[in-house]
Each structure stands twice: as C-alpha cells, then as structure tokens.
A and B are shown apart, each in its own frame.
Chain A
Amino acid sequence: MDATIKKNSFKQVWNKHRSKYLLIIPFATLFIVFTLIPVIFSIILSTTNFNGFSFPEFVGFKNYIDLIVKDEIFKIAIKNTLFLAIITGPISYLMCFVFAWLINELNPKLRAFMTLVFYAPSISGNAFLIWRLIFSSDMYGYANATLINMGVIDQPILWLQNPTYIIWILILVQLWLSLGVSFLAFIAGLQNVDTSLYEAGAVDGIKNRWQELWYITLPSMKPQLMFGAVMQITTSLSLSAISIQLAGFPSTEYAGHTIVTHLYDYTNNKYELGYASAIATILFLMMLFTNLVVQKLLRKVGT
C-alpha cells in the first residue's frame, strides 16, 4: 500500500515537474561528477595509504590518528586557519554588508561605479601580488622604504619571512580581497527588498533606521545572508593561495601555514595522498560544522 503510493507519487512528481528536473540535469551531472564523487572518493582514500603510483593499501583510521596525535605541524595549521578565519571571516562578512548597505543609498550610476571599485580586488586574479611589492624585504620595498625614510626603522624588515608579521599581513590582504561574491549578493539582496514593507513598517511603528534594518531589511534578505555566510566560511577556512604567493611555501616556521597549504604539502611534496585526503576530510567536517552554527545564528536575525 505504502509502496504504491510512493511509486505513484514519484510518477506524479516526475510528470508534474519533469521540465524542472530536465533543466537541473546539466548542473546536477557536473556537480555529481566533479564534486560529489570526488568528495566521496576522498573520504574513502583517507582510510588508505596511497602514493599515487602504487595501489592504495587500506590502513583504517591510521591517517586520522597520525594527523591528530602525531602531526605537530597540523596543529599549527589548524591554529593559523582558525585564527585567520575568526578574524577575517566575521570582519569581512560585516564589511561586505556595511559597504553594500552604504552603497545601496547612492544613486544607480554612482552605485554601479562604486560596486566595481570595491569588487575589483577580488576579480582581478593575482592582483594581490602587489602586496608582495609593498612588503618586499628589500630596502626598496614600499613599506620598508617609507619606514626607513620616516626614520622609524634603519634596517629593512623581512615582512614576509618573519613569523611575527606574516599572519597579520595575510589578514590584511585577505580583508582587502574580501569584498567578493557575498558583497555582490548583498547588493542584489538589498535591492530586492520590497519598498512597500518600509511604508508598512513605518505605519507599524518603526522608529529609526536601525530598527528598519533589523526588522525589515535583514529578514527580507536572509537567503543572500545565508549565501554570503557560506561563501565567507569556505573562503576563510580554505585560505592558501595568498599564503603561498606572499609568504612562500612553506612559510617561515609555518607561520602562514594553513590547513590547505598543509594538504598541498602532502600531495605535492610528500606524495602521501591518503594522508592528504584525511586532511581534506577534516577540513570538510569543519566547514560543515561552522555552517550549521552560522545557520542557527542567522535564524535569530529579526527576532
């Protein structure tokens, strides 16, 4: 009895929504082939010893145990990643929103222009490499030259080779880059808010812009907020390119070492792909967990 209903309902669903399923197929195929299957594969590989050339050998949870118990450098990587994520994640999320909100007040032409200005750093590929010029260790690097000219220092500082500075520079650059996709999503979200809601709100006793923001604007753009949050979490937890490009690989005393660069080390230098998969799996779980927490938090918006 139950089975027939289910079968029927599947048939019914298919008949009713066929066109939608057909439309989703191209994306779904790509997603399954290039995202879902690799993720599952990686989870399976993480329980093996695999160097890429010879056949994987099953070792159970040995990789995870080694990773958590023995690997000192992984601890540094986790520490750095979390530190970077906790600072850059929320700040850049807020920055995205605040800038989007401010820009939204401008007239359309100026808004388009300002959007481009703020968005430019994150679309311009490796443009962040100019920071390497700024923080060059040579005495002619901009930061060094300026400080020397001002008389603050008399010896060039090795910005990107000195563990004290590396992480802060990474944070600075990441913040500069942070007005990315979520920023655009916020702008779109802000423009989609139904203006009649504001009138209704005014009638219902909204006293100031803050209340308007909290009770009307934010709740009406929850999907965008959600999207932005997911993007910020993934980017800030998977920082690696700027670390490798700016601080070099490996960075001095692993000061700029993140989970992803650790993973890179094990795939590209040590050819231990099973172990690397274990790292990837842990990173995946971390992202999942943070996402759940953030979702919980976002539900509180407007209440």
Chain B
Amino acid sequence: MNTSLIKKILIYVLAGTLFYFLFLFDGSQEETFVGSSSEFSTSQVYGTSGLITYDEYLRINGKSDMVDEVINVDMSLCTDIGMDGDYESGYNVSESYYATDELGDLVCDVTVETDGYYNIEVEYKIPEGNSSDAERTILIDDEIPFDGAHILLFNRVWQNETEEYKIQGGNEVRPKQVESDYDDIEYSKEYLSDSRKYEMDSYKFFLNGGDDDQVTLTLRSIREPMNVKSITFKKETQLLTYEDYKNQIDSSKIFDGNPVFFDAERVDGKVLTKITKSSPTLYGISDFSSSVTSPYHPYYIRFNTMGGYNWRVAGDWIQWDINVEEAGYYYITLRARQNTNRGLSSSREVRVNGEFQFEESKHAEFTYSGDFEYYTLGDGEEGYLYYFDAGSNTISMEVTLGSLGTIIENVNQSVNIINEVYRQSVQIMSVTPNQYIDYELTEKIPNIDETLKNEADRLESIINELLIINGGNGDQIVVLDKMQILLELLAEDPEELRNNLTLFQNNSSALSTWVLQATEQALEIDSFQLHGLDTKELDEASVFEKVYYEVVRFFSTFYVDTGSIETDTVANADQETITVWVPTGRDQAQIIRNLVDENFSVNYPNVNVELQLIPKDVILPSTLAGVGPDVVVQVGQNLVDGLSVGSSGLPMNFAMRDASVDLSTFTCDNYKELCDGNIHEFDEVETWYYPSAFEQVKFQGGVYGVPETQEFLMLFYRKDVLDNLGLEVPKTWDDVEDMIPDLQVKNYEFYMPSTIQMYTSLLYQHGGTLYQGEGETYGIQTGLLEPEAMQAFQKWTAFYTSYDFDVQANFANRFRTGEMPIGISSYTTYNMLSVFAPEIKGQWGFSLLPALNEGEHYSVSQGNYSMMLSNTENKLAAWTFIQWWNSEDIQLLYGRSLEGLLGAAARYPTANINTLAKLPWPTEHREQIMKQFESVVGYPEVPGGYMTARQLDYAFRSVINTGQNPLEALHLYTESIHDELTRKRKEFDLITNE
C-alpha cells in the first residue's frame, strides 16, 4: 500500500479543516449584524387571503355531524345595505326573488334552532350586466368564516348566437358568443362550494344560533348584479358509491341498441339540441391533426372539437342538451384529447340532468394523451353506467381539480409560507447577503427551522402522493423535489439561506408556476357516444391516411390565401369600397370582420369594407408607393419600452406631411350627409373621450386620429405587506418619501418606471408643460427649461440617486414575490397580475398615481388611434367607418369579444369613457380606474418631438450614470431639442423663433 499517498490525503484534510475553522468561523464572529428582529407571523392555518383555511375551520368547530333540518330563508324579509348602484335592488314580489346590485350587502336574519353544520343552497339567475361572472362573499354573523368563502363565483350562461356555422371563403366562421337570453334560462340551484375546486365537497357552514337562535347571513356583492330566488340551509344528499349504485341497477334496463352519437361542438338537431357553457371562450375549435375528427377538412377551417386549452379553469362547464330515444342505463364514451398536463390528469364533474348520479361522477379523470383517444367514463377498467330518461336530457361537464385539489391547496399554502420566510429573511439579510456574516436567522425569525422542516415534510408527502397518482416519476415532480431537498438542507441550518437565497427564491417561484400549471385542466372533446355494451367503431386514422392529409395540407398553402380576412358579402356596384388595414393580429382582425358583417353592413349598406391584416411596418412604404389603405386602425405610439422612444406616432408623422386627413372637418357644414345624425359628426365623436386622448394627434388646429385605447400609470400595492408594516397607501409624493425609509429598512423596494411617461406625469403635476406656444406656435420651443420642468426633473432623478430606486426591474415578478410591494405601472399590468399571479389574488390593489398636491393625480397616457389617409378617394365612406368603429357599442362588443377570445389578460384599455364603464372590471377597481382616467393628460406630439424623449433620456442617464447635477444635465441636453424643433418647423414652413 502506498502510505505516502494516505499521508498526503490526511494532511490535506487536516489543513482544510484548520482553514475552515480559522477563517470561516472567525469571520462570522468578528462581524456583528444589527438588524431588526421580527415576529414570524405565519402558521399553517392561514390561507392565501389571510383567513383561516377551511380545514382549520372544520377543526376549530369540531368534527360534529351535519344537521338534518332544512331551513328556508324567507327572502322577502331580507334587507340590503349600500346597494345604490345602477341595478335596482330589492325584493321582487311578483317573481319572488331578491335583486342584488354589484356592490353592497344582502342581509338575512335566520332562525337556527339546531346548531351544527349545514350546506347552503342558493338559487339564482344573473341579469344583464358587464358579462363577467358574479362574485360574492358570504358572511355568517358578520364574519367571513374561512378562506374560500370570500370568493364564491356564480356563472353566467353563454351560447353561440347561431347554432349553425357559416362558411365564408371556404372557412367556417366562429359564431358570436352571446349570453343566453335572461328569460330563456332557468334558475340555477347550487350548493356553495369552493370556486377554486380545492375542496371536492360542498362547503359546510357551522351555524350557531346562540341564545336567541338567530344567525345573520350576509351575501356581499363583489362583482355583477344577481337575482337570488332562495337560500336554503340543508344537508346535501349523500351520494352512493358506484359499487352500491350498481347493485341497485335493474340490468334489463341497460341499453342494448345502436350507440347514440353526437359531435361535441355542433348542434345536429336530432340528438344534440343545444350547447350552453359558462364562458364565451368555450367555443368550437378546429383541429387539423387527425382526419377522424369530424367534420374534417385538410386545409379549410372546420370547427370540430370543443373546449381545449380554454377549458381549463376550475368551475367552467359545458352543457349538452340531448335527445335520447330510449330510457335506460348508458355508458358514456368520449373521443377526446388531454395533451397539456403531462404526468397529470384533467378532471371533470359529470352531471346528468343536473345531478350527480353517484359519488365517482364528481371526478371523472382524463389521463394525458398526445393524440385523440377514446375515454369511457369509468374507473379505468370498468365503465360507469349513467341513467338517461327517454326524451330530452342534459349532460354537463365542469372543470374540477379532482384528487389534485388537496395537493394543490397544500402546495399553495406551502408557497405562501415559503414566500413569507423569504420576505422575512430578505428583511434581515437583503437580497444580496454577504456569505461571511452570521445573520442569526434562528433567533430573529422564531421557529424558522421548524417551519422549514414542516414544509419539507409536507412537500415530501405530496411527492409521495403524486408518485402514486402518476404511477412513477415524472417531470411534474422535479420542481417539488428540488424545493424539498433545499428545504431539508435549510431546516438543518437556516443560516445556509445566505448562500442559497437566489435558489430559494427561484424554486419558490417555480413552485407557484407549478401550481398554476397543475390547476390547468384542459380537455378537448371531439364527440360523444352513449352506448350499451356495443360501441361504434373506435378506429383512429391509419398512417397512410395521415400522410395523405399532411401532403394535401402542405400543397394547399400554395393556393389558399390566408392573409385577407374573408367575407361572404359581395360588393354591389353602387357601394363605395374602402380598404381598412389592421396591424395588430388575426384574432383582432377577425373580430372586426365579424362586427363589420353583423353590424356595419346592416347600418351602412352603401359602404363595403375590405379588411386586410398587415404588419405595422408596411404602412409607410405602401402609402409611399400609392397602394396604401384608406383607413388604418390600431396604430399609435408606444411609450412603455423604456425611455428611448424611437419613432413618434404614426398618425402624427403622416399628419405633418399632409398624408392623413384632418378628421375635424367631418361636420354637417362640410358634408350634408352628416346632418341627419345617422353618421356622427366629429364634434359629437369628440365628446366620447377626455380631451387628453386627442393630445397626440393634434397638429396645427387639425385632429388626425380618433383614439381607440389609452393606457396610463397607476399605483399598485400589496395590501398584506403594507398592513404588516403599518403603512398607508400613499396619496402624494411626500407620502411616498415618508414611507421609503420604512420600506427600505426591511429591504423592500418601491418601483418607479424610468420612462418618459413617468417624467411627463411628474412634469404636469408640477404645472409644467413639454412645449411652449399656443395654437399655431405650439411646439415652437421646449418647456423643459422652465422652473417647473426643472423641479420635476430634480424630483424624479432624486428617487434614483437619493432614494436608490432600481432603474430597471421586472416589476410584475417582484411584485408577486413581495420584494417590491408597491410600484407604479401601466394600469393594464392589472390584467397580467390577475391572470399570472393567482397566488396573490385579493392581496393587492391599485390606486391613483401619487400627486404633488392631493387631487391633481395627473398621469400621462399613450394609446392607439384610427386614422384616415389622404389618398382616400371616398372620405365620407372612410369617416363612416371610423365613427362607427369607435362608437361606444362597437368598442364594447370588440372589447368583450377580444376578452372572450384571449381571456382576461386581454382586457381592452379603451379610450371611450362609456365603454370603459361597461367592461367587466370588478366594481371597486373600475372606480379607481375611472377616477384616475379623469386626471389623465395626453402626451403631446409636435414636429421634431422625438428629440424631447431622446434628450430627456440622455439627461436622465447622465444623472444616474455619472452623478451629474440634474439641473445642469437637463439644461445641457435641452439645447438640441430646441435646435431640432426649429429645424423641423422650418421644414414644414411653420413659424419659428428665428
């Protein structure tokens, strides 16, 4: 044996240990860290909303049995408080329901003689409103009992406007999605249950009548009006398990005829008579992947499946009304595909005629499959038998989380606690801890090791459960596994967090993403079969068939034009044709096409609209080449991508060069056709907007565009963090400055965008203006040399230099983790947060941009416009289109369709005041937006104006980068703005200072 080698190793080990003790341990003892100690405030029982969880609620109230009594609440004796909105609230005697408005409380006093658990059944119908689902919070004796009871959702009912699919230019066109007529739908009866579907059973409420046997039940409106017909406290009927249910079946009643077959997406009039659904986004979709999917066409659009990725949110349902000739027991087989959640299954609640027939139908599971497969509803081996009456029946399928529910809820809670640990650790060691400092986390955050251990254990048991569900390891588990290992490590020595903080944070956001993905329960259904023991042939397409259709599809790309948006309407000889370009996207263009066909061509039959989808950058070249359009919609300026604005807005650039039409000339005086009011005059159109909206398109007394959208800055804040710190939402910049120390001492940050939009907002708040001059001379000189501009600039830069704000940051992400619990951002950030950060739902809000003087919350807007080009031959026809397109109703229809198609993330930031009031914003938030909207100012455009943004940016950077004095910097860089303004004004023969 080589002894010298062993010796060498020993020496190294010894030296290493020595080194470790000498340096690392000494180092940590030398430096002492003085930080604030903080209470560790979380424990496992709280849910995301800060309320106790449902499990905890059940534990506190004891596991006693449910009460068998049935208590009907007399709706006529209820009262409402604070319901003074547009919807008339109160008890309707003739139809015996209680109408509730979108805000306020419905309060009912109920006599409860036997204390104990009850389910609550609500019978309701939602009247016309803003087409979003109704949201309510339930309070028992003025207290929200548990987490989950604060967001109860009540769906509206949607359907296709026409049952048939129209064919245009070879393609089927998606029918408009409309709410079912109020009079056509029945009242829905539902037990109150978890709208997130974490909990599979209906909620149990513990009612304690006290001495006087009285319980106060409050239904608090969060969103949308609702008519409540009845509220009943009773025990939900217990369902049989399938085992017991099967034993009761009379086997002679099992169906043995030919299978009943129907397509999931189209009404055939014989079997399928009606499709209704809970959301307008649940529409027929076209699948090209398999020729067996019916109906199929290799290259034209045929809607042949239903649901898909849009059908993934818990609580969304689709209902099929079908005719069955023979009463009896049927198996249900679906041709469907679940290709989104690899390693997990999608679940559905299956109701037949509105009822569950047995326990198992509460969660039918669809395992992952790349291609379409035949799923027979059952336990995997044996199919379940469902009873259908003779005649009309309904099948409904509602997205639920099934067995994943509790898992997801647990992971969610885990994420909350982990985030809390992260936030508290950051407060002590900042986001960039020094690895040589002992932060004494165990002392400063009580029980941190225990908390981490608990979470590690919790994740471990979740992983084990998932292993059973999946039957093996999958990529779904990796994320959990990584976090679990890290937690295990940290639990042993929390101090290690200083070396792993970034990893810790990354893992925790990966975990939230996991939750988001796991809750997505997509399912795409092609067709249904109700059958006995025989099924229709269950064949998939052969390889040759597939190849054949692929080849056909490939060659079709050479001769099928997908660029223009087709219509059936053929232009008449006496019609004026105008060309409209849409630079945004196919979905947008298709919606406009539909609106034109349905509405415009009806109201203005003498104008024919040709719609073309084009990329934005071809507008200029094609106009120059003389082949441009007559009208362009949805063009504008973008101020959000940082300070450096490359190009000023398209409408203005065209206006300055006489390439677009002054729209303010469209008055009764100039065009007699406008006099009878059928086509709005410009003066009337102007009143639909705040004057700020026109700021960007005004030039030399003319107006060169009609505003479509307006986005402006608002203040976003995390309620939970601010509450923890005992801070108020700031109203003025002084308030902001006051709160900064409190935030920063805990390592929280304030986000302020370093954009021109931010500075200009400050400028206007200081009473300054970007340009000087009036009327024709407006823009003759920059306003940035005035004292107000200087003050605003100084204030702005001070936030970055004196208060150390981050110049650049991913706000949405850091807002989500809580690192930046407060910040300024475009109000459309709301949409993003509401969709992509569900874990902080209800924990944040937004309010007016802080002001210099309270009440003057000026915020600068940017937006898109419709414009008309000068080479238009028929200006009147073009104007007819523009005034129609921007009218309140059409913009509202457009906004709703867009949201219907792309989801809530695509909520339309309309500039039309009346339209905004009708978009589906929660009431409280809409009020904030409307309030801010009142004090919005426009970003003015003048010849040479691009220089302003550019030089401001340079001035800002030089202050930030080199520490130059803000006043000097602004002064220095403003000179060339002036030169450029003069140079450009000369080019356009305008009055200059020289």
Contact = CB atoms under 8 A, between A and B. Distances in A.
Contacts of B806: 138-139, 156
B825 to A, nearest CB: 15
Nearest to A268: B647
B237 to A, nearest CB: 54
A249 B432 contact: no
Interface in A156-170: 156, 158, 161-164
B958 interface: yes
B657 A158 contact: no
B429 to A, nearest CB: 13
Contact of A51 (B432, B657, B807, B950): B657
Nearest to A137: B808
A138 B808 CA distance: 5
Given A138-B808, A271-B653, A164 B644 contact: no
A4 interface: no
A253 B657 contact: no
Interface residues of B, number: 32
B203 interface: no
B647 A250 contact: no
Nearest to B431: A139
B925 to A, nearest CB: 28
A158 B957 CA distance: 9
A54 interface: yes
A269 interface: yes
A145 B502 contact: yes
Contacts of B431: 139
Nearest to A164: B961
Interface in B655-689: 657-659
B646 A249 contact: yes
B809 interface: yes
Say whether chain A's binding surface is mostly helix, strand, loop, or mixed: loop
Interface in B447-483: none
Interface stretch (A32-40, A99-107, A146-154, A295-303): A146-154
Interface string B530-569: 0000000000000000000000000000000000000000
A138 B954 contact: no
Contact of B808 (A54, A158, A253): A158
Nearest to B436: A151
B22 interface: no
Nearest to B430: A154
Nearest to A155: B804
B28 interface: no
A210 interface: no
Nearest to A254: B954
B624 interface: yes
B354 interface: no
Contact of A248 (B432, B642, B810, B946): B642
A215 B647 CA distance: 54
B646 A253 contact: no
A291 interface: no
A52 B946 contact: no
B524 interface: no
A145 B620 CA distance: 42
B147 interface: no
Nearest to B950: A250
A79 B653 CA distance: 30
Contact of A137 (B804, B807, B958): B807
Given A51-B657, A156-B806, A158-B807, 10 more contacts: A137-B807, A138-B810, A139-B809, A148-B432, A149-B432, A249-B646, A250-B646, A251-B644, A252-B953, A268-B646
Interface of A: 51-54, 136-140, 145, 148-149, 151, 154-156, 158, 161-164, 248-253, 268-272
Interface of B: 431-432, 434, 502, 620, 623-624, 642, 644, 646-648, 653, 657-659, 804, 806-810, 946, 950, 953-954, 957-958, 960-961, 984, 987
12 contacts: A137-B808, A138-B808, A138-B810, A139-B806, A148-B432, A149-B432, A156-B806, A158-B957, A249-B646, A250-B950, A269-B646, A270-B984
